[in-house]
Amino acid sequence: MSGAALSLQGLACLRGGRVLFAGVDLDLAPGGSAQIAGPNGVGKSSLLRVVAGLLRPYAGIVRCEGAVALTDELDALDREKTVRTALAFWTRIDEVPGARIDAALDDLAIGHLADIPVRMLSTGQRKRAALARTLVTGASIWLLDEPANGLDTASAATLGRLVDRHRAAGGIVLAASHLPLAWAQDVTITLEPPREENA
């Protein structure tokens, strides 16, 4: 992961005919971490989706060196499959070893749920299963949308330790959250709606 890098230059996002944010600049080197903060509806999730390549930027440039993994409110796990089988689907899509699944589940303290259908998980357990998918990818750039939502204090602390481990290995973390996170940030970007002309 030593070659990981993330750069945003003059980034802007247009949704529903209005500019959510504009002029976002960020540079993260290996081991870097940043938080995107701001009120609801200002575009925190949209910024992550632009960085992930799921939305086109209205303006600006995104440069990523290294694979990117996004964890957001859509856990993208088949509710009828067991946790292990649901994650195995993504290991095939991402072309990564399925052997990583059990280690990721253990890292997030849900190894005992590997053979339980996703639909039977609690909100917090589903969140940890979604985070396990990010671990399994082996991606060097983690994009985390409201990562503490649904997590109890112990689970949030566990995530903080996993982020610290990822950063120590040269990984990068960009997290969108209106709450304090369980790990240190190199920079916090607070999004605000662009000012209306002549307002």
Domains and CATH numbers, the chain: 5-190 (3.40.50.300)
- Closest CA relative to residue 143, chosen from 156, 133, 158, 153: 133
Yes or no: say if 87 and 133 are a contact pair by the CB < 8 Å rule.
Answer: yes
* Pairing, β 5-15 against β 187-190: unpaired
State residue 188's pLDDT score: 95
Q: Sheet containing 141-145: give its strands across.
A: 68-71, 141-145, 172-176, 33-37, 187-190
State residue 199's pLDDT score: 43
State residue 158's pLDDT score: 94
State residue 68's pLDDT score: 95
Q: Is the dihedral of CA 110, 175, 186, 167 positive or negative?
A: positive
H/E segment holding residue 61: strand 59-65
DSSP 26-61: EEE-TT-EEEEE--TTSSHHHHHHHHTTSS--SEEE
State residue 173's pLDDT score: 98
State residue 195's pLDDT score: 65
What stretches in the chain show pLDDT beneath 70? 1-2, 193-199
State residue 1's pLDDT score: 57
**DSSP code at position 108:** T
